[in-house]
Each structure stands twice: as structure tokens, then as C-alpha cells.
Chains A and B, each alone.
Chain A
């Protein structure tokens, strides 16, 4: 049996693990933790091994054609959707990232969650998430992707609200779910439009038709857009929700209410990249809608800088990372919108490693601090937890774009493509954001690990390095944060840009609409490279200058620009604006529909009917005297009436 033929096991195993742990949870609540760990970590582990074997075989196959495996078909009348999996270069990359990073986060969870109630429930949700995410990336059509898409949304909701006995997490879970639903609606509309046109949702059936007859998609369709533009816009709105872009990014920072490994897995490394994956997957359509592409890029760039600027002033270590994630996702959309799909996926992959690492590192810190997340109460943790410090520092260096590490290559690829397509304004935003990124990350490192400890004496006494089950994943992911960029070293630096060439079969090639890649002079490229490195280094250096000694150097800036500080500290009041403009009016409308419509009109009419029935019954029952002679009289009168009716003419 070839490993490729076992591809279906990759999503099936985590789902089976979730089912098993869920059933044990229901019927045998007193079961020990060891089986929960065995199932919860073992099933994704085997799934990862199968995935790695399948990837290895795929890469070494003589025929690099995409591999498809059909399990069965959903059929309803003439509507038929295959439940099938696809392995092509794009899903290979995603599969590797999701199973590998996912598995190590599972291992880490076994340590992080070991003292928590609901341990088994946690692993059931986490496994279900893995299964849904794998469905999302392996599906060979949009509907299977959508099933996974909704599945990860559900698991995200469940895990954000994991601590359901507190007040904030369930609220954050609901917010995530509802905001995501707004995007999902648009995604569905896009799928309907595609299905109406092509009668199928399978990638291999749609995209060749798009390439061979692009004129069918560039005709005006709806909302003043072409068909390609309409579908691209709908899909992008879906991606906005899942991948936390303006204006639907508000749920992601709140999602930090869940356990930290969840933030690492779902809200940094995998689920939030689903939108990027979907846009890249549909690149044939996006290439035909350049106006939507530009829109995507602009949204991405603005999300990147907005989130990064908010990240500058956050004091909650997880909030910093959350806004950093939103910002990095913005980078990916910047690239995807400009047609640099491989650069977007490249950054997706490297980001998964270093952001998962950073989140797990922050989890290790929070674990040692006994649940404290405020960086103002940390400090000096370097000497207590060296492994966490060094891996966290490596992750920070990677995201800040220190040359040679993963983030350097992928971010540079994006900035290079932005400049190469002539979008200098977006390039400037990206460059500035790179500086901000370096600044807030180093600020976080300095506040957490440098200076003197600022927590309570009790906390200081308990400071300890995390157990090996948590540090080993940190070390593994640190290797990824360093090395995952080396697969895409650009030609300028003597590399072959292997990653770009590996992914290029996934990018549709239009004979007449070829993506423009104007050649740049090597000197210009060097200049851009130096600029992006400089932006990162300036950010790092300045953050060290302000925070390195353990004091809060940013306070002087806050004093100098109090308005700006308040603006950033309150996250541009976006949550408050949404609350005022959308949530409150919706609430008022709902209350009106509840009290004004449902209670009075709907329930009222039912109550009126009941009242009328009762009244007539009250009157009617008076005729039931129990005296048989009265009944005989009624009968007689009835017969008389009948006679009159028959004889009346």
C-alpha cells in the first residue's frame, strides 16, 4: 500500500481521536488523563507521520501531477459533490505546516494543560480542529473546503470559550463565531455564483475552464463587477473573517481568551491562514480581477500597519502577539492581492513556525507566572527560564526580519514583489510596518525577559523553566523559525528561490493575461533589501534603547503624544465604534422584534385565539345541563331546522 493511498487517514485520524475522547468524556468521565493524552497526542502524531510519508512519496514520485483521492460522492438529484482529497504543491505546503506545527502544539498542550480541568475535552476539541483544518486544505473542491472552514470556525469558538465558567471567554467565543459568520456568508454567495456558472465546485474542473475561456469571467456580472471580480470579492470577504482583516479583524485579539496553545495553533499558525490559502487556491479567478486584487492588497497593507501600531502599546503579552498575527496576515494579503501568491504562501509557512513558537513561548512564560499575562509585572525572566528565553528571542528575531532567519526571506519576498509591481505606497507601508513589528516584538522580549522582576514575591518564588514536554516543542519550532526560510532564498542572495518554483504549478498561467514581473536592476533589489533589513534593525535597536534596561522608555513618547497614545491604547476605538454603530442598533432592533413584534403580534394573535376558544367553550358548556330532556329538545329543534332547510324552497 502506498502512503499516498492513505491520504484519507490524515484528516480521519484526528477526527477519530476527537470522537474517541469525546465519547470517553461523555460515558466515562472519571477516566484518567493518560488515555486522554495518548489519544489526543497520538492520533495527530500518527496523522502527521502518514502526512509526511505521503508528502515524501509525492515529492519523489516520477509523476509530479496532482494526486486526487475520491472517497465517495454526495449526491442529491443532479447535484453531486465528490468527497475527495487533493495533494498538489500548495496542499503539500499547507499539509506539512498544519500537521507538523499542529503535532508539536499538541505535545506542548499535554504539558501546558496538565493542571487544568477539562483536559480531555480540550484534546477532543483540539483534535477536531486538526481534522477540520486538514479537510479544509486537502479538499479538492470548495464545498469540502467549506466544511473544513466551518469546522475550524466551530472549534475556534469552542476553544476560545474553553474556560466557560468565566465571563469573558464565552463572550469572546461568540464574537469570533459571529464575525466569522459574516465572512462565511459572502464565501457561500461566491460558491453559489461559481456553481451556477460551472455546475461544479471541483478545483480541477473549474480552474482549467477559467484559464481556457477567461473572457467568460470578465463580462459584467453584478454590483458593477465582472464575474471574476464578484466571486473574488465574495471570497475575499470570507477570507477577511477567517484571516482577521479590516474590518472583520476584531475577533482575533479577543480570541486570546482561550488557552495559549490554542492561540498558537488556531489563532496564529493554521486557521487564520485559511483565508490566505483560499485566495491563493482561487488565484486563477483573482488574476482575472486585478481591481479586486488591488483592493485585497490595500486592505492587507492597512491591516498590517493598523494592527502593528496597536501592538506597540499593548501590555498583555498575548495581545501583542495577537495584533502581530493580524499584522502579519495583512502582509500575506498584501502579497496575494498583488499576484505574488507564492510569496504569500511562503510567509504563511514561515509565520506559522515563528508565531507558533512565540505563542508557545508566551504560554511558557504565563505558565511560570501562574497565569499572569501583563508584561509590566514580568521582567528578568531570562535567568529563570533560559530555554524559553532563547527560543522566544529566536522567534522574535525571525519575525523582526533579522537576516538569515525565516521571516527575513518571506517578508523580503513580499516587499520585493510589492516594489516590483510598482506599488511604492504599499511598499512604504510594508517597510514601515516591518520596523514597527521589530519594535513591538523586541519591546515584548525586553519587558518580559530583561531588567528586574516586577511581579510579587510569591510569583518570583515559583518561577521555573517549563517541563521538557513544553520546551521540546519550543526547540523544534525554533529550528523551523530559523530554517524554514531557507527553502526560498531569492536568486539575489545566491539561492534558487526553490519555494517559488515548487509552488508555481498551482498558479494559473494565462497566455494573454500573464502576471507582470518587471525585472528590476540588481542594484535596486539590493537597495530594497538593505532598506527592509535597516527597518528591522532600527526597530530592534530603538526598542532595546527604550526598554532594554527594564524601564518603560515608551512612556516618554506617550507623554509627548497623548492623543496618539490614547488612540492606540484604545485600539482606535474600533470595538466601541462597532458597538455603537452595529451591535447596539442590532440589539435594539432585536429587542423591538422580540418585545414589539414577537411578543405582541405573533404571541398575541395566538393568545387571542386561545382566549376566544376558551370564551366560546365557557359559553357552550352551559348547554351541557346533564338533563336528558334538554338534549331531546335540542335534537327536536335540530330536526325541525333540518326539515325547514330541506323544504325551504
Chain B
């Protein structure tokens, strides 16, 4: 399945911008660690959408290869991040980042 060529690149950009904005808003406002984590994934995927859009516009595969890389890195990052949160949860019985402020002045 492929998208018709009439779909302009601006749609990709608008979608990516929306996703990114939602991700930023989520990352800044969520108090749950997992929520912040999801928002970051959203931002990464916004970038992926943009890369794919440009790749299609320019007929250049490099963009799609980049997306695969980003996905691989994001998966690894998710594993590490979730591991961290599990460790934190075992210690503190919470993953509310407002209460994880040991490193303050």
C-alpha cells in the first residue's frame, strides 16, 4: 500500500509538529515517570514522521534508514529507562517524579 502522490509534504510536517507539541506538553506536565517516557517516545516518532515525509519528497532512502536507526535506539532507550524506573520504584515505592528530588540543593 502506498500513499497517493498528491499528498503534499506539508501534511507530514503538520502531523509531525502536532505530535511533537503533544510530546513536549506531555513531557513537561506528566508527573508519572512512565508518562514522561511515553511523551518522549512521541517526540521521537514525530521526528520519524518528518524524516519519512522528506524521504518521500526527495526520493531519497537515507531518511528511511535514519528512521530505522532511531527506532532501534528508542527501543534500547526504552529498555534502559523502564529498568531505571523499576529500580526506582523498588526503592521508593513511587515513580512520581515530583517526589524524586533527592538531588536538590
Contact = CB atoms under 8 A, between A and B. Distances in A.
Interface of A: 621-622, 624-629, 632-633, 636
A629 B28 contact: yes
B103 A629 contact: no
A626 B101 contact: yes
B101 A625 contact: yes
B37 to A, nearest CB: 11
B79 interface: no
Contacts of A625: 101, 104-105
A633 B103 contact: no
A621 B105 contact: yes
A628 B97 contact: yes
20 contacts: A621-B105, A622-B105, A624-B103, A624-B104, A624-B105, A625-B101, A625-B104, A626-B100, A626-B104, A626-B105, A627-B100, A627-B101, A627-B104, A628-B97, A628-B100, A629-B29, A629-B31, A629-B98, A632-B28, A636-B24
Nearest to A622: B105
B102 interface: yes
Interface residues of B, number: 14
A633 B27 CA distance: 9
Contacts of A629: 27-29, 31, 36, 97-98
Contacts of A636: 24, 28
9 nearest A-B pairs in the assembled complex, by CB-CB distance = A626-B104, A626-B101, A621-B105, A626-B103, A624-B105, A627-B101, A628-B97, A625-B104, A633-B28
Contacts of B98: 627, 629
Interface of B: 24, 27-29, 31, 36, 97-98, 100-105
A73 B7 CA distance: 91
A636 B31 CA distance: 17
A626 B28 contact: no
A632 B102 contact: no
A628 B101 CA distance: 8
Nearest to A627: B101
Given A624-B105, A632-B28, 7 more contacts: A624-B104, A625-B101, A625-B105, A626-B101, A627-B100, A628-B100, A629-B36
Contacts of B97: 627-629
Nearest to B31: A629
B75 to A, nearest CB: 22
Contacts of B104: 624-627
A628 B104 CA distance: 10
Contacts of B101: 625-627
Contacts of A633: 28
A430 B97 CA distance: 101
A622 B102 CA distance: 14
A632 B27 contact: yes
Contacts of B105: 621-622, 624-626
Contacts of A622: 105
A57 B29 CA distance: 103
A213 B98 CA distance: 94
Nearest to A640: B24
A83 to B, nearest CB: 64
B92 to A, nearest CB: 13
A494 B103 CA distance: 105
Nearest to B25: A636
Contacts of B24: 636
Nearest to A633: B28
A622 to B, nearest CB: 7
A640 to B, nearest CB: 10
Interface centre among A625, A628, A633 (most CB of B within 10 A): A628
Contacts of A621: 105
A108 B85 CA distance: 90
Contacts of B100: 626-628
A641 to B, nearest CB: 15
